[in-house]
Every structure is written in C-alpha cells, then in structure tokens.
Structure 1
Amino acid sequence: MRYSHCTPTNSTALSQFWSQVQAQACGCPDPLISDLYAVNICDHIDFPSALASLLGAKLADRSMTESTLNRLVAKCLEDNPAIIEAARTDMLATYERDPACTDFVTPFLFFKGWHALQAYRIAHHLWLNGRRPLAYHVQSRINERFGIDIHPGATIGQGLTIDHGTGIVIGETCIIEDDVSIFQGVTLGGTGKSDGNRHPIIRQGAMIGAGAKILGRLEVGAYARIGAASVVLEDIPAYATAVGNPVRIVKKTLPK
C-alpha cells in the first residue's frame, strides 16, 4: 500500500504535467472562454502558482481578500510541496475514473470536488501547524462555496476523487487512504461519541456510492464498494460489495 498522506514529486514530472495542462488550455479556439483559460492556466509559470491563484479566487470573501488568500496558499505550498503532488495525483485520478473528464483543464477549472479537496489540503496544513481558527475559516469557505464539508483535522491520502460532491461530510477523525472514490451526498460521520476516534477509516481503493452514510469508528476495507444510499454501522471487509439499510454484503471478490 502506498498510503502516505502526501508524497512529494520531482520537479521534472511536475513541469511536464503542467506543460500538458497548458497545452490543452492554450489551444482553445473559443474566444469567449480563452480569457478564462489564460487567467487561470496559460499565464502561470507553474502548477503551484496557478493553484494558489485559483484557490484564492474561489475562497475569497469580504473578510479575506483574493490576494491575501493567494499569498497564504502559496506559502502553504512552499512549506509543504507534498500538497502539490497530492493535487496532481487527485487530478490524474479524476481523469482516469470520471467518464465526464476528457482532459486536465476540466477538473482544474470546473470540478468543485477537486477544488474542495485541494482547499481542504491547505486547511489541513494550517491545522497541523497550530493555525486552527484560520483552518476553520477555510473549512467554512469550502462549505459555503462548494457545499462540501471536510473537517481540517481529517487525514486524507492522494488519488482521491470526489464526483459531483454536493452534500459530502467528512468528520474530524476520519482517515481516508489513497485511491478512494466518493460520490455526492456521502457522510463519513460519528454516532454521537464526544471525543476520541469517532469517524470511519476508509481503506485504499474503496468506492463510496452516492448518499451512503458510514457512521462511527468502523473500517471499510480495501477496494470495498458501498452501494448508493447504504447505511453502514459495522466493518466491511476488503473487496466486498455492500448495499442497503441496514447494510448487507452481497458480493465479495478475490484480489487480483
């Protein structure tokens, strides 16, 4: 398992990736959209610069300006370059898993699940560095802006896809490993326990269907699949498919 929360990448791979994104954006023939592509992608020398600018614009409000947030995000990316690799890996995963995603430009500019996840990574960095009121502010703006509520204390790996995203809730002590897919309306929540580890652990490669509720300190095993609208209150083994309310296992496949 390659779960390590966030792992740095080498500069050559990152540069090549950003060149691909720019090539896709800067050849746009539509004059009405070309300015949007230029401001957000083509005019930026690298991926960190573009990501800082994008999140600054998305999260700004009357109490914290776009330029202030741009500088804040840029500083977080400078202090923790692994966030950049996680953002890149999340985009690659979205491109690979989402049939609606035909290039890298689309999630970067238009997919709020990807936006919310990258903003969470900034909030999580702030949380771990003792800047908790600021982390809560970013969490609040993610919720207001995207309709997705990810606590900055949650631990999330890379290669995550959040498809559609509206109504997703991820609690403070939740652990999500690499290569997980989450659809709209999912709750990874608690059951009323007031302290300690009270949210689910989602193992590598799991898929959580739309509207599923997974509650308490339980474990969804590696590559398990949770059906839409299921309610999960107990552990689900690796490679199992579970559906219903209450959830029941309907299939278990052997690992390849």
Structure 2
Amino acid sequence: MNMQSNAKPGAARERGAIWTQICDEARRAVQAEPLLGALIHAGLLHHPSLEAALAYRFSMKLASDEMSEQLLREIADAAYADDISLGDAARADLLAVYDRDPATHRLIQPILFFKGFQALEAYRIAHWLWRQGRRDMAYFV
C-alpha cells in the first residue's frame, strides 16, 4: 500500500479536506474488502458530508421499535444544520482519536467501528437537544 494513503491529515484539517480523505479511505477499503462494501457505501460514500454520515450512523445505532431511524435522522440532521460547531467538534474528536489511538490507522475507523466515538457524537446531539429545551428526547438519546 502507498505510504501516502495512510498519511495523517496534518495541516489540511479543514472540513472539505477531512471529508475528502474519509471518502478516499472508504473507496480504498471497499477495494481491499469488498464484503464491507455495503456498510461503507451506506455509512460513508452515499453522504455529501461528515455531518450527514454521522447523522446516518447515529440513527442506525439508536433506532428501535420505539424510535424510528427516520425520526432520529431528522433530529441529527436538524442538530448539525442548526449548530455548525457540532460538525467541527466531531472533526476535532475524529482527529483526536486518529492522532492518539495507536489502533486507529484511518479516519473511517472511528466513524464505522468505534463505539466510544459514536457515543460521544450521540452525546453532542443529546446536548443540543437539551439546549433546545427538548429534555425528554435528550434523555432518550
């Protein structure tokens, strides 16, 4: 594998550069492990932004008979649209995991596989709900 493909994002940590790197990693992962293609396409490549991918992951992880995936997705989309700092915080969280966790070799790993990262992003959405006065929904999340 090309050493550059695993290069840390370095100075180019802006929104677009991070999402571009995530999509590049996702495409390479599908080539390397075709059996994960559906997961990677649904979780990353079908989305226009990190926020959209995180909203999808949030809704998939928390959906149940009591709360539909669609409703959870609408909540997450509203949170990311209303407060741009949520997406920026998610990027900072993602880069922190990438930089500090020796088990993390690609930015796609925390998004797709790491429960702690996913829980942190769910907490951020719950906190947004709390600040909106939607306390019961925040408790649900």
Give the shorter-chain TM-score range: 0.7 to 0.9
Q: How far is 1:18 from its partner?
A: 0.4
Distance between the aligned counterparts of 2:110 and 2:137, measured in 1? 26
Match status 1:39 vs 2:63: no
Matched, 1:133 2:136: yes
Other-structure match for 1:18? 19
Does the residue aligned with 2:78 lie in a helix, a strand or coil?
A: helix
Q: What's the counterpart of residue 103 of structure 1?
A: 106
Q: Which has the higher strand share?
A: 1
Give SS of 1:27's match: helix
CA distance in structure 1 between the aligned counterparts of 2:67 and 2:17, rounded to whole angstroms: 33
Q: Kindly tell me the number of residue pairs found equivalent between the two proteins.
A: 127
Question: Which residue number corresponds to residue 117 of structure 2?
Answer: 114
Return structure 1 stretches of 4+ with deviation > 4 angstroms: none
In the TM superposition, 1:149-228 aligns within 5 A as none
1:61 aligns with 2:64: yes
Tell me which amino acid in the other structure corresponds to 1:102.
H
Which has the larger Rg? 1
Q: CA deviation at 1:127?
A: 0.7
2:75 to 63, 72, 75: 72
Cα distance, 1:123 vs. partner? Answer: 0.4
**Once the two structures are superposed, what CA deviation does each residue of 1:208-244 show, in whole Å capped at 9, x if it has no partner?**
xxxxxxxxxxxxxxxxxxxxxxxxxxxxxxxxxxxxx
The letter for the 1-side match of 2:57 is: L
Residue identity in the other structure for 1:129: Q
Residues in 2 aligned to 1:88 and 1:128: alpha-carbon distance in whole angstroms = 21
Equivalent residue in structure 2 for 1:84, among 76, 80, 87: 87
Matches of 2:132 and 2:70, distance apart in 1: 22
Q: Render the CA deviation track for 1:196-219: whole Å, top value 9, x for unaligned.
A: xxxxxxxxxxxxxxxxxxxxxxxx
- How far apart are residue 21 of structure 1 and its match? 0.3
Cα RMSD over matched residues?
A: 1.1
Residue aligning to 1:155: none
Greater helix percent: which structure? 2
Residue deviations 1:99-131 (CA, integer Å, cap 9, x gap): 000110111100111000000000001111111
Unpaired segments ≥5 residues, structure 2 = 1-12
Where 2:64 maps in the other structure, the secondary structure is coil
Q: CA deviation at 1:63?
A: 1.2
In the alignment, the residues of structure 1 paired with residue 52 and residue 65 of structure 2 have an alpha-carbon distance, to the nearest angstrom, of 23
Deviations 1:29-87 (A, max 9, x none): 21101221111011111111111111000111111100110011000111111000101
Residues in 2 aligned to 1:129 and 1:65: alpha-carbon distance in whole angstroms? 21
Higher relative contact order (CA 8 A, sep 6+): 2
Instruction: Give TM-score scaled by structure 1 length.
Output: 0.49
What TM-score comes out, normalization by structure 2 length?
A: 0.87
Q: Tell me, in whole angstroms, the C-alpha distance in 2 between the residues paired with 1:122 and 1:19.
A: 24
Shift of residue 13, structure 1, vs aligned partner:
1.8
